[in-house]
Amino acid sequence: MTETVLTIVVPCYNEEEVLPETNRQLLEVLHEAVEANLISSRSRVLYVDDGSRDRTWDLITRFSEENGQVTGLKLSRNFGHQLALIAGMETAKEQSDCVITIDADLQDDVHAIQQFLVKFHEGYDIVYGVRGKRDTDTFFKRNTALAFYKMMEKLGVRLVPNHADFRLLSRKALDEFAKYQEENVFIRGIIPQLGFKSAKVYYDRKERFAGESKYPLKKMVQFALEGITSFSVAPIRAATYLGATFVIMACVMIIYTLVQYFLGHAVTGWSSLILSIWLLGGMQLTAIGVIGEYIGKIFKETKHRPRYIIEKNLFSCDVSKIKQESHDKIKQ
């Protein structure tokens, strides 16, 4: 039997409706992978409760008591999806040969996990789960997502199109990822920068099994802005170029106004004055806002505050329990 230990990291925020089914399916996948000799029976599912306000943690605790292959982390408050993922990966990496991250909503195909593991055994350190199509998305979400990927490509940011946070990382990749300690983290942009041998597994994304989406339009916009400003200075450079363009236009208008004055054609134009004030004022405020985004990030980085705080940790307890359960199953 292979000694490869896998940990499946599942960030959770108010997922009590879907979690029982998620847990059933993931344990089934683990069992099948063990039977296929792809992973060790010491492999586990690690749920990360990102400050849920419902019964999510109670369910995780119950699952852990019922089955030693289920464990959990409870964060002290809601730190956000990306930091919940990082908390799970950093906790799991010391006791795992590879880690797979997947959301709790069952939209990602859990049966693709076996294909991830096959690629891992073929020598790939990073395996991306990539959506073959986006039929389950609304017209708006599908097209804004495509526009986001194209824009990031233009800005020079390496992303894997139609890939979210369904991926496998080897321990080597996890160790290198852990060196990225910035506060403003954008995992989808960091992973391709690691440069290790990678592969893609295509799958069809499903409808959410139960509960509500934790990524409404506001969070999607914030996520996109985080990605852009974390990996590119193009917006602030564009503000500089735009300011320089308006300075040149202003010089041209000054010359034009002086010529009209000396020719005696000067006419006070209220409309043009108001339009100019609004246009230039708007551009200035936009440029200040862009600069402010970057200054805000610098402000956060210089504080060196912890990125997440773990309130309860079930992961470190009980590896022997798993071994005993596996031994009992073999006996039966």
Per residue in 140-152, pLDDT (tens digit) is 666 666 776 676 6
Q: Give the pLDDT of residue 30.
A: 94
Q: At what angle do helices 270-303 and 217-231 cross, to 10 degrees?
A: 80
- Range of 44-53, 242-251, 254-263 with top mean pLDDT: 44-53
Rounded CA Rg of the chain: 26
- Pair 97, 5: CB distance under 8 Å: yes
Q: What is the mean pLDDT of the chain?
A: 80
- Pair 192, 110: CB distance under 8 Å: no
- Pair 324, 87: CB distance under 8 Å: no
309-326: b or e for each residue (b if 16 or more CB lie within 10 Å)? eeeeebbeeeeeebeebb
Instruction: Give the distance, in angstroms, between the CA of residue 187 and the centroid of all CA atoms in the same chain.
Output: 5
99-110 confidence digits (pLDDT tens): 999 999 888 999
φ/ψ of residue 72, rounded to 5: -160, 160
Q: Three-state SS for 98?
A: strand
pLDDT grade, residue 70 (50/70/90)?
Answer: very high
pLDDT at 138 exceeding the cut of 70: no
Amino acid letter for position 46? L
pLDDT grade, residue 166 (50/70/90)?
Answer: very high
pLDDT grade, residue 66 (50/70/90)?
Answer: very high
- Pair 101, 26: CB distance under 8 Å: no
Sign of the CA dihedral 25, 27, 31, 33?
Answer: positive
173-202: b or e for each residue (b if 16 or more CB lie within 10 Å)? bbebbeeeeebbbbbbbbbbebeeebbebe
From 24, 181, 184, 7, select the one nearest 101 (Cα to Cα): 7
Token digits of residue 109: 């195909």
Instruction: Give the DSSP letter of residue 6.
Output: E
From 141, 160, 142, select the one nearest 152 (Cα to Cα): 160
Q: Give the pLDDT of residue 332.
A: 46
71-91 confidence digits (pLDDT tens): 999 999 999 888 999 999 999
φ/ψ of residue 180, rounded to 5: -85, 100
Q: What number is the average pLDDT over the span 3-18?
A: 93
Q: Say how far apart CA 137 and CA 133 lie, in whole Å.
A: 9
Q: Give the pLDDT of residue 265.
A: 63
198-228 confidence digits (pLDDT tens): 999 999 887 755 555 555 556 566 656 665 5
Q: Of 18-32, 84-98, 260-274, where does mean pLDDT reach its minimum?
A: 260-274
Can you list the pairs that 108-112 forms with residues at least 24 positions away whose Cβ atoms lie under 8 Å?
Answer: 108/164, 108/166, 108/203, 108/205, 108/206, 109/203, 109/204, 109/205, 109/206, 110/25, 110/26, 110/29, 111/29, 112/166, 112/201, 112/203
Sign of the CA dihedral 310, 14, 164, 34?
Answer: positive
First to last CA, the chain: 18
From 141, 166, 147, 157, select the one nearest 219 (Cα to Cα): 141
